[in-house]
Structure 1
Amino acid sequence: MSRPRFGLQARFVLASGAALLVVLLIVSFMLVRQAAAQREALRNSGEVLSQVFDQSVRERGTALANALADTLVNPLYYSDLSAIGTLVRNTARQKSVSYVLVHDPEGRLVHDGSFDVAGYGQPMHDPLAAAAVAAVGPQVQESPGILEVDMPLSIGEQRLGGLRVGMNLAPVRAQESASMAALEQRMQQAQRRELGWAIGLMLLLVAFACVMAFYVQYTLVRPIRWLGAAARRIERGDYLIEAQSTQRGDEVGELLRTFDRMSHSIARHDRDVRQMAYTDALTGLTNRLAFREALDHRLLGAHAAGRGLALLFIDIDEFKRVNDTLGHEAGDDALLQFAQHIAAAVEEIGGDDALLARFGGDEFVILIGQGARSAAEIAKQLADRLVIDLAKPLQVQQREIFLGSSIGITLFPEDAADATALLKNGDIAMYQAKLAGKNCFRYYSRAMDHAVERRLHLEQELRGAWERNELRLVYQPIFRTRDRMLCGAEVLLRWDHPVLGAIPPSLFIDVAEQSGLIQVLGPKVLRAACEQAKRWPRNAIGEELFISVNVSPKQLRNGNLLQEVESSLLGSGLAASRLHLELTETAVIGDEMLAVSLLEKLHRAGVRVWLDDFGTGFSGLSHLRQVPVDGVKIDRSFVADMERDADDLALTTAIIAMAHALGITVVAEGVEQEAQFELLSQRGCDLVQGYWLARPLDAPGLVSLLEQGSMAALR
């Protein structure tokens, strides 16, 4: 189902409608404001008219009261009620006068203009009477419908009484209302005229918008819709678009012609683009993106058909050493050879539906489908073949190197139901193959998830192990072959967990390396070892023992190793010449410039450096001329097979001879038999260590061994 369209024309109409709405809102706002202003003007006009009419009534009432008061003084003084009545009646006949009352000083009625004066001599009780009687001068009072003017009447200082003239406000209010109605009518007529103009303007704008919409439809929308339809065809892979003939000389015409040329150019380059997008540039295999899409598709098909799948996750063992020692070009060469070996095995065993991809870096994945045989059976056979083929030596830059592979196998639907979980399980199984010793394969199992969880738990426990005194140091004695004298010791770290028991160093050191905890534990071990060595007594011939401490590659790369060494020597008081640092061959050669600079500084400080596990990497003695080291430790793998393997014996002999030629001390580790010791001694190996000589000891045990004097005393 196509998505609802909201095209250019619809947007233009919407924009026009929005503009019209804005204009309508502005006009409406102006009309509302105009109406409000008219109401305000009408209200203000009403107030002014009311004030004008009130002032007019007030002035007229005051004038009548003043004139009548002047003529009433004498008749009132002589109590001439006839004259008073005549004067009052003449004033009361005025159209706007409601009443005229004459009263004595005590507020009793004297005359009200009637012939019989029914209330004569009676006190006045209306609401305005009290204020009128108490008035000492002219004053004006107002009640609903009446405006009263009060004038006191007196001769000299003698108070004769008072005059009350009541003006009728009803005619005034009627005239005022008529004026306001006429004013309001004229304002409404003006407002209707303004509204008519506003409606006419809006209709004109609507007509203009309709004309513009038709113009946009003809000149823009139709060509753009054609471009959109053509683009959708290109999206579906149909690049042969029928040309849109147009004679337009504007930008849209140029766009149509350019699009036609572009569609043909895309068709020419489509094959190359697809090749680049879904193929690994180095090996020519399917890349990660294409494999993931294919995996999702095949999982859907396998689920619908009820068939099984198998995924092999392959990682090259120790591949980083190739890049670090021989360079990235050699690494690419090794990767290409690996890919060729894997492809040959997959083609022979995996079947036509097998999919091989380079997943990234030194990782490869293989997807096996179920055919005549089950996917699990094919995966096992293929893994057996790959372990053998990938363990064979590779020729890289005229060197023979041995790598191997770790392979994880996971099955669908037994282990996972989707692509993400299947790849994760394959990675976990591959990692377990590495933990199992590398160059092998392992099937995924639920227990492996628990193993990963246990590893995380081990990392958490290791974080506080030093502070909880669970970690302890032991010392592997090192003897001189010339006089069989104990001359030093290598410090080793042991972990005694209160619940898990003794944890193998190969396990927790690896956890510390991968988690970065080694950068915290390393300096602590170095400081504790220096402090312990400072307390050791001299050996039988009066020599002070040296202490050998392993340094992690991460400690070497973090840039703080020199400061840590100086701090440990200063804090313990140990002489720098008694401290030997052991660095792995691959760590030193992996960053040779950093290593040279750091080792030169350590040499100037008096600290000696040994190259550990020498011979297991890809370096030659040419590196030793560039990296200033004081000694090399021959790896135990060579020592173990010296008696049976002539190649190992020859290599060991060559290492000793060439190291001595460069003035470098040679240490052999892993001496387990007397025959091994004799062979090393005959070839001039300087120092040896191993279980045949002595097992790792705690500090008191090492002191006790020192008291025995030499290796001969142990025999």
Structure 2
Amino acid sequence: MKLEKLALRGRISLQFAVTVTFMVMLVLTLGTIITLQMSNQGQMLKNLSNKVISAEVATVRSDLDIFLRAPALANRMATVLLAEQYSNADKDLSQFEAPFVHILSKIFPDQKHLSLISFGSINGEYIAVGREKLTNKFSLLLKDSRTNGSLNFYTGLKSTDSILHQVNPYDPRTRPWYAPVSRSKKPMWTSAYQDYDPVQGITISFSSPLFNHDKNMVGVVASDIKLSNFNQYLKSSPNLGSGAIYIVDHKNEFISHSSVEKPLPHMTINELSTHDNATLLKVKDSSNEMIRMSAKFLEDKKIKDIEFNLGKEKIYGRVFKLADGNGLDWRIVILIPERDLLGDLKKDIMVNLAIVLCIGLIAALAAWRILASITKPILLAAQTARLLAKQEWQPTIAGGLQLKETTLLANAFDEMSSALACSFEQLNYRIRHDQVTGLLSREGLREEMSELVKKNPARKWGALLLIGLDNYRSIHDSIGYDQGEELLCAIVNNLKQYLPEPVLFARVADTEFVICMDVDVDKPCLTELIQRILDSFTQSFHLQYDEVLISASLGVVSANFNHLDLIENLRNASMALNKAKDKGASSYEIFQIDMVEQSTQKIHLISELNAAIEKDEFRVYFQPVVRLSDGKVIGAEALVRWQSGQRGLVSPGLFIPLAEESGLILPIGHWVLRESCRQIAERLKNGWASDFDVHVNVSVRQLIQSDFYQVLEETLQDFDLPPHNLTLEITESILIEDSNVIAKLIGRIRSLGVEIAIDDFGTGYSSMSYLHQFAFDCLKIDQSFVSRFLDNHKSEAIVSAIIRLAGGFDVPLVAEGVETAEQAQRLLELGCQRAQGYYFGRPIPLEDWPAVWCGSGKSEPLS
């Protein structure tokens, strides 16, 4: 019954899933169609808008050419007429009244936008004939000897008609249509300005200079277009629809527009005399939102096509320039909304898409019914697989009609269930346990702790011991893989006999083991256990073919913790283990909180050390090596210094060990070797003594690199340094790393002519047992012997013995750390040939060496 209910529930889910898949595919298909449709529609709109706008542009450009040609033609006619009839002596301009009326009424009867033709003389006379657009009525404007200096606006065309309006005083020579032309002496379009007439409309003029027969300018002729007439012209465009056409000047101010805008501010008569140009409306301040949104595109003077969204509607536009060489610098903008292009087409498309979606929905409902009968057999197999994954499935055949395929699946799943249950159990054991020792693995330790906490939520542990095998790697390489595993098992079995109950014992890494002690462990018991563990490694382990002695170190966390703190405590124990290994084999260290800070600082310092290589922050200082018999400087030891941009001068004792540990000693040592050789080679070429000897320290990591010999050879060649001027200093500890390999390498180095000095002699391992194996050229006594040999008879005996030993090997001896005259004198008496130390000179850059040191002089003792 339970399986039947699950099958029923699964049938619905499977049916739903298949149906949803069908619906998704349907929606994706329809979505693709709609997307393509919209994309095609968008492309169609773009092409259509381009064609419509191109046609409108051609029409507007053609109409504007005609529109703006009329003032220029009117000016030409007027200037021809005036040139024949006007004289500077004329104070009465009545002879021009009839010709001006003739030009407006007879020659340009249909160009009603041509509102006025005027003439102003250089003497200040003025005559004009204006036209009222609606009534086509003409009127006279006059200022000459008959008007007593006033500008009269008459109701008719005669000076005897009644005066409609009067401006006094009036000087045409100061007006915007006159003054620029009088300066340039060329025809030009003026900026927009305000008229003196009663309407005080905004006007633009085409003005032309008038010259007499002597080529002297005698006045200016102007033909005016009122911007209100211009606006009416644009509004009457037959293809405008719900779009917009407007013209702007170089300041993006309206010259003309097809929209309804707020009236422009008018200036008083007094203000007109001091303002040349009218205040025009800026496009960004338009009352029409469509025009206002297009303003941002006009900032780019090179833009041609405009496209933006206004609400849910797309607006298409075109910008083209209008210039005639006479100062006309306009741009015409045409904006066409999407609805003017599509009409009801978009609505029809959306209706069709809705019909398609309805059909798709009906198809989905039909698919739901059909899938109900198809998916039932598949459901049982799917539900069986789900139960199998939970290891809960039992091979039960449900009642009713069974398909052959599902019965085969049920039998196959039953067989798989038994096999997988066994495999899962084995896999789980492998994950939780170490395959070599049988101990808990790292993951197994975490799970074991979690299970114990589930049984007892208050469960805690009192200490964590991390055991690290010190020299397992080298032992493993020598005894082989199988015996290596046998050794691990022997170590584990040996440790188990010392562990109290209850305790968790795990192998968390190749050579690391963890012991989690119970919370009741006290400090004395813990200390005793640690010592017993360390003592257990003092005896050798008997293997099948070998007997092995191995040591171990311990990192200890002594604090109560729960299962959630395991990872953090493993990290803390690892830091303590590293500290213990630094102390030497068979040591232990208890974790202290300041280790975290030290570890963090160490990481940061290594990071800074790496950056210092890239920033070239290292310097080479040189400490003189003197001959004790006469105090002459015969060489120098090159010592690296780190001039950090953040820390200042960092002690070598701080960064050299970190460089060794991190591997950065390789690039640093390579740089020091090359830089030391370069500087000394330059001094030798500048006259230093040819036997001057530079000592460069070489670390074990450098020396064992396969390319070290090649690097050394290239360095000598690159800087043309004679090999006998270079001595490489190596410590005793290097000699025991791999004596055969090191001996061969030292032999090759000496064959180049480079000398070898054994540094810190007497402080390392059994030096005497290695001296006969290696060829060397110099011994250096460590400063720890020199610093106390005057007050300590044993130290003096050691120093004396080393001096005699060097004499026996017939090699020079250098005493390090000489700080007093007494030490230098006693060393000389004992037979030591060379020395270095603060008494003779501190390490400093080579360029700061006193002249007396430089290659041939004597070192002056420090005061």
Residue 710 of structure 2 corresponds to residue 562 of structure 1: yes
Determine the C-alpha separation between the residues in 2 that align with 1:354 and 1:665: 58
Deviations 1:309-347 (A, max 9, x none): 311122222444446xx44x5477457535533543344
Q: 1:358, CA displacement in angstroms?
A: 1.7
The reply to whether residue 579 of structure 1 matches residue 579 of structure 2 is no
Range moving further from structure 2, 488-497 or 512-521 = 488-497
Q: Percent identity among equivalent residues?
A: 18
Tell me if structure 1 keeps the 8 A contact 2:755–2:776: no
Alignment check: 8 A CA contact 2:723 2:752 kept: no
CA distance in 1, matches of 2:636, 2:547: 35
Whether 1:256 aligns to 2:410 is yes
Structure 2 residue 163 is matched with structure 1 residue 13: no
- With over 3 angstroms needed to count, the CA separation of the structure-2 counterparts of 1:546 and 1:420, relative to structure 1, is same
Flag the 1:286–1:468 CA change in 2: closer, same or farther, 3 A.
same
- Establish whether residue 636 from structure 1 lines up as the match of residue 751 from structure 2: no
Aligned counterpart, 1:287: 441
Deviates more, 1:333-342 or 1:664-673: 664-673
Measured against aligned partners, the alpha-carbon deviations of 1:446-491 in whole angstroms (never above 9, x if no partner) come to 1111222332454466564996678745589999xxxxxx999986
Alignment of 1:75-154 (within 5 A): none
Normalised by the length of structure 1, the TM-score is 0.52
Change in Cα spacing, 1:255 to 1:229, as seen in structure 2 (3 Å) is same
Partner of 1:309: 462
Map 1:489-504 to 2 at 5 A. 503=651
Name the CA shift for 1:551/1:23 in 2 (closer, same or farther; >3 Å).
closer
Task: Indicate the residue corresponding to 2:329 in structure 1.
Answer: none
Equivalent position to 2:832, from 703, 711, 714: 711
In structure 1, how many angstroms separate the alpha carbons of the residues matched to 2:638 and 2:503?
A: 51
Per-residue CA deviations over 1:242-296 (Å, capped at 9, x if unaligned) read 4659997765444333222222223444454334322223333222221233345
Structure 2 counterparts to residues 595-634 of structure 1, below 5 A: 602=749, 605-607=752-754
Q: Deviations over 1:339-395 (max 9, x none)?
A: 5335433442332x3122221122221111224x44x55443322222222344557
Give the aligned partner of residue 83 of structure 1. none
Which amino acid is the alignment partner of residue 388 of structure 1? Answer: D
Q: Letter of the aligned partner of 1:230 in structure 2?
A: L
Q: CA deviation at 1:515?
A: 3.1
Task: Write the letter of the residue equivalent to 2:409.
Answer: L
Q: Residue 147 of structure 2 corresponds to which residue in structure 1?
A: none
Q: Give the counterpart of 1:340 among 490, 496, 501.
A: 490
1:418-449 alpha-carbon deviations (Å, 9 max, x no partner):
22211111111112222334422111121111
Displacement after TM superposition at 1:569 (Å): 6.2
1:521 corresponds to:
668
Cα distance between partner residues in 1 of 2:579 and 2:691 = 47
> How far 1:407 sits from its partner (Å)?
1.4
Match for residue 406 of structure 1 among 527, 544, 553: 553
In the alignment, the residues of structure 1 paired with residue 634 and residue 826 of structure 2 have an alpha-carbon distance, to the nearest angstrom, of 11
Letter in 2 for 1:511: L
Q: Which residue of 2 aligns with 1:233?
A: 391
Which has the higher relative contact order, 1 or 2, with Cα contacts under 8 A spaced 6 or more apart? Answer: 1
- 2:527 corresponds to which of 376, 380, 383: 380
Tell me how far apart the structure 1 counterparts of residues 450 and 740 of structure 2 sit (CA, whole Å).
Answer: 45
Q: How does 1:52-451 map to 2 (within 5 A)?
A: 206-216=365-375, 218-233=376-391, 241-242=394-395, 252-297=406-451, 304-305=457-458, 307-322=460-475, 326-327=477-478, 329-330=479-480, 333=483, 336-337=486-487, 340-351=490-501, 353-371=502-520, 373-374=521-522, 377-393=524-540, 403-413=550-560, 418-451=565-598
**Secondary structure of 1:445's match?**
coil
Find the residue that maps to 2:816 and give its secondary structure. Answer: coil
Q: Distance in 1 between matches of 2:728 and 2:637?
A: 9
Q: Is the 8 A contact 1:530 1:568 kept in 2?
A: yes
In structure 2, what residue type is equivalent to 1:454? Answer: Q
Report the Cα offset of residue 600 of structure 1: 8.4
Task: List runs of 5+ in structure 1 lacking aligned partners.
Answer: 33-191, 235-239, 480-485, 537-541, 614-632, 640-651
Q: Which stretch has the larger CA shift, 308-317 or 269-278? A: 269-278
Give the match for residue 176 of structure 1: none
Q: Deviations over 1:502-554 (max 9, x none)?
A: 8473x532211233331232123324554688789xxxxx9886846323415
CA distance in structure 1 between the aligned counterparts of 2:547 and 2:781, rounded to whole angstroms: 25
Separation of aligned partners in 2, 1:705 and 1:502 = 34
- Cα distance in 2 between the residues matched to 1:489 and 1:591: 28
Name the SS for the 1:305 alignment partner.
coil
Give the paired residue count. 488
Q: CA deviation at 1:11?
A: 0.9
Q: Which has the higher helix share?
A: 1
Give, in whole Å, the separation in 1 of the partners of 2:696 and 2:823: 14
- Give 1:674's aligned residue: 797
Counterpart contact for 2:555–2:577, Cα < 8 Å: yes
- Check 1:395–1:211 CA distance in 2 against 1; reply closer, same or farther (3 A cut): same
- Aligned-residue RMSD, C-alpha: 5.9
Residues 464-475 of structure 1 aligned to structure 2 (within 5 Å): 464=612, 472=621
SS at match of 1:636: coil
Cα gap change, 1:306/1:203 in structure 2, threshold over 3 Å: closer, same or farther?
Answer: closer
After superposition, the Cα gap between the structure-2 partners of 1:448 and 1:697, relative to the gap in structure 1 and judged at 3 Å, is: same
Aligned-partner Cα distance in 2 for 1:687–1:396: 48
Deviations 1:69-124 (A, max 9, x none): xxxxxxxxxxxxxxxxxxxxxxxxxxxxxxxxxxxxxxxxxxxxxxxxxxxxxxxx
Judged with a 3 Å threshold, the aligned counterparts in structure 2 of structure 1 residues 572 and 454 are, in CA distance, closer, same or farther, namely farther
Change (3 A) 1:331 1:228: closer
Give the SS at the match of 1:356.
strand
Paired with 2:781 and 2:459, the residues of 1 have a C-alpha distance of 56
Partners in 1 of 2:667 and 2:356 — Cα distance?
84
- For residues 417 and 473 of structure 2, the distance between their equivalents in structure 1, rounded to whole angstroms, comes to 45
How far, CA to CA, are the matches of 1:683 and 1:701 in structure 2?
22
Deviation at 1:581, TM superposition (A): 6.1
Give CA deviations for 1:568-608 in whole Å, capped at 9, x if unaligned: 56427232585346488789978999x89977875664446
Kept after mapping to 1: 8 A contact 2:465/2:554: yes
CA apart distance, 1:225: 0.4
Aligned residues of 1:430 and 1:441 also touching (Cα < 8 A): yes
Structure 1 residues 22 and 432: alpha-carbon distance in aligned structure 2, compared to 1, 3 A threshold: closer
SS at match of 1:349: coil
Tell me the residue number matched to 2:816. 695
Between the aligned partners of 1:309 and 1:24, the Cα distance in structure 2 is: 67
Separation (CA, whole Å) in 2 of partners of 1:519 and 1:583 = 16
Distance in 2 (CA, whole Å) between partners of 1:391 and 1:213 is 77
